[in-house]
């Protein structure tokens, strides 16, 4: 049985924790999209891991980790993560594999990300400045792309970089009046990446298909959230990859019929980092209470996350496009101490009521939430391990959401640790 774990909101749903739990049963954990814009938190005992590129399975010493072709790899971040894990006695040699077809994020991508956002001013996307958009743009543009496999032929890469950097310098100077970047500096960094990451680079599609033949258990770890999907999310306030489960096939070369269980991760409320419409946002004391109790500050950028009520219209949509079989709802504990809780089950847009999520930022910016209000609870849920032991109102909240989104909620998070999960 192979699993996929994917976020159903705007990211940071708690995927790292869910992947860590399910990785116990997996031989291989695969990242198939996104890059170092992701920040996946795994807490084991007193140790907290914040993983950006490394599959969350890395924290289990016997799990094979694959960074597949769909990922955009910032080698500097990856080397830092490898060193950080090795310092905690988690060796990656012989169990980490990086696709030769994965694209490389270089300094000029990060520079362009920053320059473009600055130039956009108030209209900015609010990216993580990790060079994600520019790198995926070079991937689809093809002529200026660098892939991990290019690090294995440094003579050819030197020539390629000269051509690319000359072009980027002309562009950045004309558009942003930016100082030129040094090709030699980038080349020297690539020499180091080549030496250190070369042994990990291989054909991960072959590796995965051999594992499928051998009936190994593979866990596919989604990054970001479905509402940030480049095609199906709230464009243009999205990331540059197919962040829903739809990105799995192109991102690693495994067809959808190989995945038997697709777990959609949600928070019991909604958060978003960066710009873009967010109909159920509570930019008020309620949102602040959620932010404080849930420690809602970005794992990658430290930015405060925007917080709001659970948007069941959005989640029903993202579960549908990803073919989700069951839901893991995290952070139920964070919702304690609200007199009443609101669940958005429909939108009113221009006087019309709809329960289908319009993945159109202009429409969504005009959407008014129609809420179902249910009673809250005061109790601390963090020590509860059985659904029946939850306060009736918390049980009722989960059941109400489940009814609206029409997908069973099988895991419930009541704290950040591996053990703080209720299984239904
Ligand atoms: P990811 O990007 O989806 O992996 O999520 P992040 O790691 O960016 O953010 C989720 C945050 O919530 C992390 O700090 C987790 O440790 C924490 N977390 C996960 N599940 C729960 C839960 O059920 N309750 C609480 N209180 N915290 C949780
Ligand atoms: P994980 O995997 C939350 C958001 C950014 C911004 C938009 C575009 O931890 O859930 P980008 O740098 O990708 O060009 O930024 O997408 N974003 C995320 N928000 N969690 C993430 O990842 C995110 N990855 C990107 O905040 O709004
Ligand atoms: Mg995150």
Cα–ligand 3 centroid distance for 153 (angstroms): 34
Q: 354 and 207 in one domain?
A: no
What is the predicted pLDDT for the residue at 299? Answer: 77
State how far the Cα of 388 lies from the Cα of 81, in Å rounded to an integer. Answer: 40
Give yes or no for residue 298 having a pLDDT over 90: no
Which of 12, 138, 150, 311 is an active site residue?
Answer: 12
Q: 317 and 174 in one domain?
A: no
Provide mean pLDDT across the span 160-172: 98
Give yes or no for residue 302 having a pLDDT over 90: no
Burial 270-285 (b: 16+ CB within 10 A, else e): bbbbbbbbbbbbbeee
Q: Tell which of 159, 177, 197 closes a domain.
A: 197
Residue 114 structure tokens? 């920053």
Mean of pLDDT over the chain: 97
**Mutation choice for ligand 2 from 112, 115, 228, CB with most ligand atoms inside 8 A:** 228
Provide mean pLDDT across the span 205-224: 98
State how far the Cα of 325 lies from the Cα of 114, in Å rounded to an integer. Answer: 38
Largest pairwise CA distance in the chain: 67
Q: Tell which of 231, 248, 263 closes a domain.
A: 263
The 10 Å Cβ neighbour count of residue 250 is 15
Q: 234 and 273 in one domain?
A: no
Q: Tell which of 197, 212, 233 closes a domain.
A: 197
What is the predicted pLDDT for the residue at 284? Answer: 97
12 catalytic? Reply is yes
Q: 407 and 302 in one domain?
A: yes
Provide mean pLDDT across the span 30-37: 98
Counting Cα atoms < 13 Å in the Cβ hemisphere of 399 gives 11
Provide mean pLDDT across the span 32-56: 95
Q: 269 and 252 in one domain?
A: no
Q: Comparing C-alpha atoms, which of 58, 142, 44 is closest to residue 98?
A: 58
Q: Comparing C-alpha atoms, which of 335, 343, 342, 333 is closest to residue 312?
A: 343
Cα–ligand 1 centroid distance for 185 (angstroms): 37
State how far the Cα of 176 lies from the Cα of 178, in Å rounded to an integer. Answer: 5
Q: 217 and 279 in one domain?
A: no
Which of 40, 52, 103, 331 is an active site residue?
Answer: 40
**Mutation choice for ligand 2 from 273, 277, 298, 304, CB with most ligand atoms inside 8 A:** 273
Give yes or no for residue 382 having a pLDDT over 90: yes
Please tell me the least confidently modeled range out of 297-306, 317-326, 406-415: 297-306
State how far the Cα of 34 lies from the Cα of 230, in Å rounded to an integer. Answer: 11
| Spatial CB neighbours of 139, under 8 Å, sequence gap ≥ 6 | 72, 103, 145
The CATH number that applies at residue 160 is 1.10.300.10
Q: Quick check: bond before 236 cis, omega within 30?
A: yes
Burial 78-113 (b: 16+ CB within 10 A, else e): beebbeebeeeebebeebbbbbbbbbbbbbbbbbbb
Domain of residue 94 covers 3-100+201-263
Q: What is the pLDDT of residues 177-186, one digit of tens each?
A: 999 999 999 9
What is the predicted pLDDT for the residue at 160? Answer: 98
In total, how many domains does the chain have?
3
Q: 145 and 108 in one domain?
A: yes
Q: 153 and 40 in one domain?
A: no
State how far the Cα of 334 lies from the Cα of 342, in Å rounded to an integer. Answer: 14
Q: 18 and 164 in one domain?
A: no
Helix (H) or strand (E) holding 402: helix 392-405
Give yes or no for residue 300 having a pLDDT over 80: no
Among all bound ligands, the one having the nearest atom to the CA of 263 is: 1
User: At what angle are helices 183-197 and 154-176 packed, to 10 degrees?
Assistant: 140
Residue 163 structure tokens? 């051509």
Provide mean pLDDT across the span 131-143: 98
What is the predicted pLDDT for the residue at 2? Answer: 97
Phi, psi of 103 (to 5 degrees): -85, 155
Q: 148 and 268 in one domain?
A: no
What is the predicted pLDDT for the residue at 174? Answer: 97
Q: Comparing C-alpha atoms, which of 135, 142, 114 is closest to residue 126?
A: 114
């Amino acid at each position: 049985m192979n699993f996929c774990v994917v976020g159903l909101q705007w990211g940071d749903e708690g995927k790292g924790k869910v992947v860590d739990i399910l990785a116990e049963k997996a031989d291989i954990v695969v990242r198939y999209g996104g890059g170092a814009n992701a920040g996946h938190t795994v807490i084991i005992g007193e140790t907290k891991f914040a993983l950006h590129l490394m599959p969350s399975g890395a924290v289990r010493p016997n799990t094979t980790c694959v960074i597949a072709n769909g990922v955009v790899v910032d080698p500097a971040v990856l080397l830092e993560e490898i060193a950080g894990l090795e310092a905690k006695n988690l060796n990656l040699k012989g169990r980490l594999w990086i696709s030769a077809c994965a694209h490389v994020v270089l300094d000029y991508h990060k520079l362009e990300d920053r320059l473009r956002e600055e130039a956009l001013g108030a209209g900015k996307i609010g990216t993580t400045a990790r060079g994600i958009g520019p790198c995926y743009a070079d991937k689809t543009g093809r002529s200026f792309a660098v892939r991990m496999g290019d690090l294995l032929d440094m003579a050819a890469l030197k020539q390629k970089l000269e051509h690319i950097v000359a072009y980027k310098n002309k562009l950045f100077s004309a558009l942003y009046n930016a100082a030129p970047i040094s090709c030699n500096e980038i080349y020297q960094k690539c020499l180091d990446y080549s030496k250190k990451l070369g042994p990990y680079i291989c054909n991960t599609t072959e590796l995965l298909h051999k594992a499928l033949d051998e009936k190994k258990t593979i866990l596919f770890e989604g990054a970001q959230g479905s509402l940030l999907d480049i095609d199906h999310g709230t464009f243009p306030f999205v990331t540059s990859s197919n962040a829903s489960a739809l990105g799995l096939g192109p991102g690693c070369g495994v067809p959808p019929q190989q995945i038997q269980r697709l777990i959609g991760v949600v928070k019991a409320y909604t958060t978003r980092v960066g710009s873009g419409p967010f109909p159920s946002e509570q930019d008020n004391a309620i949102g602040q209470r959620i932010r404080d109790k849930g420690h809602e500050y970005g794992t990658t950028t430290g930015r405060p996350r925007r917080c709001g009520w659970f948007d069941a219209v959005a989640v029903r949509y993202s579960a549908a496009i990803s073919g989700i079989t069951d839901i893991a709802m995290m952070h139920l504990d964070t919702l304690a101490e609200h007199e009443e809780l609101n669940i958005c089950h429909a939108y009113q847009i221009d006087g019309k009521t709809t329960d289908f999520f319009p993945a159109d930022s202009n429409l969504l910016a005009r959407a008014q939430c129609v809420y179902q209000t249910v009673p809250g609870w005061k109790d601390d849920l963090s020590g509860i391990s059985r659904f029946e032991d939850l306060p009736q109102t918390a049980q009722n909240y989960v059941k109400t959401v489940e009814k609206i989104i029409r997908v069973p909620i099988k895991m419930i998070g009541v704290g950040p640790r591996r053990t703080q999960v209720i299984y239904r």
